[in-house]
Amino acid sequence: MPPQPATVSDGSDLAPEASGAATMLYIDGGWAEAIGGGTFEAVNPATGQVIGHVALGARRDAQLAIDAAARASMTWGRTSPFERAKALERIADTIERRRDQLARILTLDQGKPLIGEAYGEVEELILYFRMAAADATRIEGLLPPSTDPAKRVLVYRVAKGVVGVITPWNWPYTMPAELIAPALAAGDTVVWNPARFTSLCSVALAECIADADLPAGVFNLVTGPGADVGDELASHPAVEVVAFVGSTATGGKIAARGAGKDLLLELGGNGPLVLLDDADVTAAVKATLSACFLNAGQSCTAGERVLVDRSIHDAYVAALVEAVRQQVRLGDPLDGATTMGPLNNERTAEKAERHVREAEARGAEILVGGERAPRHGSRLFFEPTVIDRVTEQMAVAREETFGPVVPITAVDGEAAALGIVNASPYGLLTAVFTRDLRRGLNFAESVHAGWVNINESTNYWESHLPFGGRAGSQSGLGRVGGRYAIERMTELKTIVVNLA
């Protein structure tokens, strides 16, 4: 038996005094220490306490993992899709058995509420692997005709090879699953570099994959800084596909380093939420709470722009302020009554604070919140915030705030709202509220976004549907979601048979 990483049985004893042993890297079918022997601390954002030590992988570790994945790709891609499906089901079964452990470690490492959000993310994780198992058995080809009656043409999908997976800290189970599961289903091998801020729960997920008895080298985990490990994945010649979820800025760097490779990039957005003059205000308020406060606003589809027709502006704002005060409970993420936990890291908290202060200085009105709330346990707690009179010149309107902030702008009519949304460099997801289906569909078809919700939150999506940014925007390349990710991670191969 290879050595096992130093994670705890159920997450209940994660604390400074229990965090002396470090986790390990998973390379070529076994657990190993980082070559340099270094570690970094995993810190609970709700308390500031150290909850573990994580292996500090570097370029050489990544190179060893890539070499292992390249060797394994020679046989894994030729394995029966039904065998790959069984392996994915084994992973899902293991995750299901460890559901409580995974949820608790997620809360302690990332900060999202245990009952309100962490268990839900684990359930979605299970779904991704079961869905990929089913999709593995449905990869189909073609039998197009030949101009020569004595020839037969076979066109089918084959694995591309090694997939370098680089993932963020905001959804540390969901985002890796939407890339790793379809890659394994497609017959590709994987080297995964998770975000440093949530590496502890990433190791817990990697344990579930490792325990599914995949062939050595098919799945590999290298924790460590993206500037070293992630850059090696993006630039190494043996990596055929680079799959990344994260910021637009980092995505641009990865695209440059991975020039010539197949790229699957799910990048940023600012999730405009548009209320036309006939919107159902009550439904829109409910959707706003989900759009702006789920995961404390740390989502690429968070509602970071709220454009409200001036005729219903006052009614919407009054109802929203009351709903935020009554329904959003900031606090200890292990408390079952908590609906919103802390932000994950200081850089994110500083950005949210800076955006709010800059908007206030430019004339915006803070109706609720607007401050950090360290009384809850650390300086990463940020109050649920509503800001009115937001203008296009403010950073909170133009950029990804990635925090629990609702920036409201009153607009004069549908055309004005559409113009504002389409002027944005982002094109990931937009939501529009109207009682008129014709108006909703017209708006959806006119807006520059890869996904549009009508009368639903910006944070609503389904894991089997194609999700990604509009071409030409700063929101990414390609589509994740079920078979659409598999299509990106395979390629067509044509074989001509001469029967003569």
Q: Single out the catalytic residue among 266, 353, 383, 400.
A: 266
Distance CA 242, CA 234 (A): 6
Please count the CA atoms within 13 angstroms of the CA of 79 that sit on its side-chain side. Answer: 24
Pinpoint the alpha helices (H) of 281-394.
281-293, 313-327, 346-361
Point out the catalytic residue in the list 232, 292, 300, 487: 300
Amino acid making up residue 202: S
Instruction: Verify whether residue 266 is a known catalytic residue.
Output: yes
The Cα 155–Cα 141 span in angstroms is: 5
Q: Do 497 and 197 touch, CB atoms closer than 8 A?
A: no
**Quick one: CA torsion of 169, 173, 178, 179, rounded to 10 degrees?**
70
Distance, CA of 435 to CA of 456 (rounded, Å):
12
Residue 300 known to be catalytic? yes
Ramachandran region, residue 4 (left: φ > 0; alpha: ψ -120 to 50; beta: rest): beta
CA dist., res. 134 & res. 92, Å (int): 12
Residue 430 pairs in a beta bridge with 452
Nearest to 459 by CA among 298, 265, 280: 298
**Rounded CA gap, 227 and 73, in Å?**
26
- Pairing between β-strand 39-43 and β-strand 50-55 as defined by DSSP bridges: antiparallel
> Hey, how many other C-beta atoms are within 10 angstroms of the C-beta on 327?
13
Question: 448 by DSSP, 3-state: which?
Answer: coil
Structure tokens at 107: 């809360």
- C-beta separation of 174 from 110 below 8 A: no
Active-site residue set: 266, 300
